[in-house]
């Protein structure tokens, strides 16, 4: 029992049932005493009685909840004794389960997409967040405010580009240097043209060239500066200042759409098996090539023209490519020149590279026994680099047990890290440099609590194991801290590593390392398996594999505009329109359809065509309507479509189909899908994710009964403790 300030007793132990009669007697006596002491202060007494009644109600309610929880737990145990538990996870881009049995599971893969978006503002001057240093001048930009400092070390004026503004020809814009204390010059610059801001007030300028103009800050020769500054570039006079932000996606600032399976192998491959001299090339059904023997002077042609000038392929100007295969690709151009694209090389061209021959080659005299996977993709950062046959993409699916930590063998700067068959690591040697990283491959971890720990660090001077992100966030353990529990709030791609200080000595030390979700459990050997699923066509939401009918099913079409299309104007003149006869018809003018574009945002037809909402596209009947934006005529709009197509960055729209497209599964697809349809899980904990963290996964599995019961009891007890604590 506890008592109030007035000395009135009340029950405070909510974990046990009350002895109502005894408790009421004690409380009644304490109330009598309180009344006497307070000399009949009715207000205090009534307040105390009310408090007691409230506490009693809470206690009764908590006892009832405890009884209910215990009943539910008993019913669960009885139920589980009679049958196996079939579990199904919700759709997610990664899956974590902790109670898997040995019964095969079913993993389903569906399409998905990701696109960066941002709402724009009236201020067209967008400053580059971060720090810029040039000729002794430092500009630090945070939330649209630039702080400048330093002395110009040049004998000439220094011009620093600190942002951009996308402007259109034949339009008037209004420039304003907002409040700030930094001395210097402020201007817009493009192709030799400079438009200056006035030192105070607002000025207007006329623009003669469409495109991005550089926002520049300039400092005179040998001058010292300090202070802050803000810029404004507006379409209308006397517009109130706001931080400049790009509208993304927009015609001015396209935003590419990442789609499951967009890592298409663009490298033509018509190679056939051959044997020349002592070298045998065997071309597999998926286009991979096994080569064995000793080369004299030998090549395997992937594609070859019928004469020396016939075009068989071209790399298009202004696109970024990467050789993601494990072999160099050599080509001969139609003009007779040769080039080699190295394994892992990222490359691009200012003009189209027209090709007459594509081939693989083994250096003369070299003895090989390898399988090559030739593949080149249109590259963006984070793309899945898994192999796929020509003209197909792929999804790499990884299944890992509870220990997610893995390092490859390495011998770097005096220290050898040697993974052992039993899952431990052997360390040998003397480090010649401090804190050199021996890295593993990146992998995804989802939000939640994690524990990283190591065994075997005793007696060492320095040894650090950890994970880190590309922006250098770290979670690590060392000889002083052998166990570290941390929590993350968002999905992160992390990379495992080992490092140590200079002169650290290792003498066949055996180390066990484990990274697992939740709290520490017994160490086990890391295990994982990868599945690479070929994809014939990019897959968006709702696209799926129908193994029963051997189909890859697609509900969307990607339309790339090249300017040859028939474009008209809607009757009210607010939109450009394009008719797509295979589109999923939309008659509800208030509905926002499943419609995607790298340059527009989907909206309802009412918002697009009636309200003329900027930067949008919509569907009505079989028509796609585009915001006219800065284009006054159909001819201007089509000219922009042609220009962007020729530059290699076309405007495209992804729209829903009236009838789904069904592609026959290939032999390779069937083989992988059959494995996923009868997926062998690790007993207990499994972590399943894809390389891009993009494809939607759903796992139907049978839980291990004991693990399921144990986990449920732990969760139920935790809930009971929360209830008992009044939470």
Task: Please provide the DSSP assignment of 598-639 as one string.
Answer: SS-EE--HIIIIIS--TTEEEEEBTEEEEE-TT--SHHHHHH
Count of positions (residues) in the chain: 727
**HSE toward the beta carbon, residue 630, CA cutoff 13 A:** 15
pLDDT at 297 over 90: no
Residue reference for tokens 């020769």? 221
Of 453, 523, 527, 452, nearest in space to 488 by CA: 452
pLDDT at 43 over 50: yes
Task: Find out whether 698 and 110 touch, Cβ atoms under 8 Å.
Answer: yes
- Phi and psi, residue 430, nearest 5°: -125, 125
Mean pLDDT is highest, among 62-71, 85-94, 557-566, for 557-566
State the DSSP code for 233. Answer: E
State the DSSP code for 417. Answer: E
Q: How far apart are CA 397 and CA 532, in angstroms?
A: 6
pLDDT at 250 over 70: yes
- Phi and psi, residue 609, nearest 5°: -95, -30
Q: How far apart are CA 269 and CA 34, in angstroms?
A: 94
- Phi and psi, residue 635, nearest 5°: -60, -40
Q: How far apart are CA 275 and CA 298, in angstroms?
A: 10
Residue reference for tokens 């339009």? 171
**Which residues have a Cβ under 8 Å from the Cβ of 630 and sit 6 or more positions away?**
168, 171, 251
The stretches of 326-387 forming alpha helices (DSSP H) are none
- Phi and psi, residue 78, nearest 5°: -65, -40
pLDDT digits (tens, 9 = 90+) for 3-41: 665 555 555 654 555 555 456 556 556 655 655 555 445
Q: How far apart are CA 376 and CA 389, in angstroms?
A: 11
Confidence of residue 608 (pLDDT cuts 50, 70, 90): very high
Task: Quote the radius of gyration of the chain (alpha carbons, Å).
Answer: 34
pLDDT of 81: 47
State the DSSP code for 459. Answer: T
Instruction: Note the pTM of the prediction, 2 decimals.
Output: 0.81
pLDDT at 695 over 90: yes
pLDDT of 39: 46
Q: How far apart are CA 523 and CA 401, in angstroms?
A: 11
pLDDT at 78 over 60: no
pLDDT digits (tens, 9 = 90+) for 338-350: 999 999 999 999 9
Q: What is the mean pLDDT of residues 523-534?
A: 97
Q: How far apart are CA 562 and CA 130, in angstroms?
A: 37
pLDDT digits (tens, 9 = 90+) for 350-385: 999 999 999 999 988 889 999 999 999 999 998 999
Task: Find out whether 393 and 534 touch, Cβ atoms under 8 Å.
Answer: yes
pLDDT digits (tens, 9 = 90+) for 407-422: 999 999 999 999 999 9
Strand order in the sheet with 145-151: 130-134, 137-142, 145-151, 224-234, 171-178, 202-207
């Amino acid at each position: 029992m506890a008592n109030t300030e007035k000395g009135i007793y009340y029950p405070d132990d909510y974990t046990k049932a009350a002895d109502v009669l005894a408790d009421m007697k004690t409380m009644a006596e304490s109330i009598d005493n309180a009344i006497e002491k307070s000399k009949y202060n009715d207000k205090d007494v009534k307040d105390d009685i009310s408090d007691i009644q409230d506490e009693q109600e809470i206690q009764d309610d908590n006892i009832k909840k405890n009884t209910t929880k215990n009943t539910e737990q008993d019913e669960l145990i009885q139920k589980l004794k009679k049958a196996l538990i079939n579990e199904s996870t919700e759709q997610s881009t990664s899956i974590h389960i902790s109670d898997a049995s040995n019964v095969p599971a079913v993993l389903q893969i569906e399409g998905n997409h990701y696109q960066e978006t941002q709402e724009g503002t009236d201020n067209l001057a967008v400053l580059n967040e971060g720090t810029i240093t040039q000729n002794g001048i430092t500009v630090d930009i945070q939330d649209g405010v630039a702080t400048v400092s330093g002395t110009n070390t040049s004998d000439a004026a220094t011009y620093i580009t600190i942002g951009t503004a996308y402007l259109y020809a034949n339009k008037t814009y209004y420039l304003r240097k907002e409040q700030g204390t930094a001395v210097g010059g402020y201007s817009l610059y493009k192709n030799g043209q400079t438009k200056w801001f006035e030192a105070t007030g607002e000025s207007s300028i006329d623009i003669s060239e469409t495109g991005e103009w550089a926002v520049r800050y300039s400092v005179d020769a040998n001058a010292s500066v300090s202070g802050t500054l803000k810029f404004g570039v507006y379409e209308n006079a006397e517009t109130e200042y706001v931080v400049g932000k790009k509208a993304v996606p927009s015609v001015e600032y396209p935003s590419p759409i990442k789609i499951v399976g967009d890592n298409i192998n663009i490298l033509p491959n018509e190679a056939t098996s051959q044997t020349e001299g002592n070298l045998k090339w065997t071309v597999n059904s998926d286009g991979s090539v096994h080569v064995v023997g000793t080369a004299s002077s030998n090549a395997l042609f992937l594609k070859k023209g019928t004469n020396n000038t016939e075009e068989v392929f071209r790399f298009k100007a202004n696109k970024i490519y990467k050789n993601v295969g494990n072999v160099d690709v050599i080509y001969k151009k139609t003009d007779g020149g040769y080039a080699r694209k190295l394994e892992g090389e990222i490359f691009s061209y200012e003009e189209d590279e027209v090709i007459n021959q594509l081939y693989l080659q083994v250096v003369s005299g070299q003895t090989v026994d390898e399988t090559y996977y030739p593949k080149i993709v249109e590259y963006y950062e984070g793309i899945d680099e898994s192999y796929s046959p020509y003209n197909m993409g792929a999804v790499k699916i990884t299944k890992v047990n509870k220990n997610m930590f893995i390092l490859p063998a390495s011998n770097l700067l005096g220290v050898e890290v040697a993974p052992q068959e039993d899952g431990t690591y052997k360390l040998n040697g003397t480090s010649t440099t401090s804190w050199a990283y021996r890295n593993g491959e990146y992998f995804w971890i989802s939000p939640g609590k994690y524990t990283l720990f190591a065994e075997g660090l005793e007696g060492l001077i320095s040894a650090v194991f950890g994970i880190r992100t590309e922006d250098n966030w770290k979670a690590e353990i060392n000889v002083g801290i052998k166990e570290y529990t941390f929590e993350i709030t968002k999905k992160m791609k992390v990379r495992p590593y080992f490092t140590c200080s200079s002169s650290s000595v290792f003498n066949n030390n055996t180390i066990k390392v484990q990274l697992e979700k939740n709290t520490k459990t017994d160490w086990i050997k890391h295990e994982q398996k990868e599945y690479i699923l070929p994809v014939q066509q990019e897959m968006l939401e709702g696209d799926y594999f129908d193994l029963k009918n051997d189909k890859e099913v697609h509900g969307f079409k990607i339309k790339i505009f090249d300017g040859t299309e028939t474009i008209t104007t809607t009757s009210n003149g607010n939109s450009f329109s394009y008719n797509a006869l295979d589109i999923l018809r939309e008659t509800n003018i208030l509905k926002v359809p499943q419609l995607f574009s790298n340059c527009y945002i989907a909206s309802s037809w009412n918002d697009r065509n009636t309200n003329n909402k900027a930067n949008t596209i919509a569907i009505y009947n079989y028509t796609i309507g585009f915001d006219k934006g800065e284009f006054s005529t159909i001819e201007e709009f089509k000219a922009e479509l042609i220009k962007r197509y020729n530059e290699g960055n076309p405007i495209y729209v992804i729209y829903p189909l009236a009838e789904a497209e069904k592609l026959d599964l290939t032999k390779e697809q069937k083989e992988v899908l059959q494995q996923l349809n009868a997926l062998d899980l690790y007993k207990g904990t499994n972590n399943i994710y894809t390389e891009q963290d993009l494809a939607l996964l759903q796992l139907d599995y049978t839980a291990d009964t004991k693990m399921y019961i144990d986990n449920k009891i732990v969760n139920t007890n935790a809930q009971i403790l929360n209830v008992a604590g009044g939470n």
